[in-house]
Amino acid sequence: MLCCLSAALALGAGCSRPQPAAEAAAQSGQSGQTSGYAPPAEGTATLLQSVTAQRTGPGVMIRGKLLLPETTRVWVELFPIKAVVQDEPLGHAELYLNPDGTFDAGPFKVEGSGQFRVLITSYFSRAWQQPQVLQAVGIKGTKLPKSALKLDNPGTPGAGGHIEYSNTVTIGS
């Protein structure tokens, strides 16, 4: 456990927000609500509206926007452009989306400049999301457009899925 925690800290873990107040309230028996969220229409190709990288004093910040409700838990990982699936990320952040679906991940310690790959992942299960997020998007994302999900069982689209987006970002010097 300590090894995993040390590895996460060494990778430059960052987060957009601390544990949402609604999650803390849910853990104490109260319930929160995701206000004003309506899932995008079927046919929407992606729930990722934008992702950018910006070098800051202590490292690189990854900023983005997802068409998902406030407090949705997501992972943001940064890889070299030529990384393969089993490679370790340069940095990893576990975060909760802001009210408008935006996030700031990092700062990640990145040497050099050029193109890098950002992987954004989120699952829609009780283990991953707060009850109010699942109420808005459905268990396994069943209320989200199937066209925007990586289906867990492609033969049964009604079974739902998760998001897993890989985008290229350019980091300057």
Local confidence pLDDT in tens for the 173 residues of the chain: 333 333 333 344 444 445 555 444 444 334 445 568 999 999 999 999 999 999 988 799 999 999 999 999 999 999 999 988 778 999 999 999 999 999 999 999 998 899 999 999 999 999 999 999 999 999 999 999 999 999 988 888 678 899 999 999 999 87
pLDDT at 154: 83
pLDDT at 4: 36
Segments in the chain forming alpha helices (H): 2-10, 21-27, 131-137
pLDDT at 173: 79
For residue 76, CA distances in Å to 62, 67, 79, 89, 163 come to 8, 15, 10, 10, 12
Closest to 98 (Cα-Cα) out of 141, 49, 146: 49
Domains of the chain: 2-20+44-171 (2.60.40.10)
Residue pair 97/103 in contact by the 8 Å Cβ criterion: yes
pLDDT at 20: 54
This model's pTM is above 0.85? no
pLDDT at 58: 77
pLDDT at 35: 67
CA angle at 106 for the pair 102 and 52, rounded to the nearest 5°: 55
Cα torsion angle, 42, 155, 141, 80, sign: negative
pLDDT at 27: 43
In the structure encoding, which two tokens stand for residue 170, read together? 């350019």
For tokens 């954004």, the residue is 120
Q: Computed over its alpha carbons, how large is the radius of gyration of the chain?
A: 16
pLDDT at 19: 53
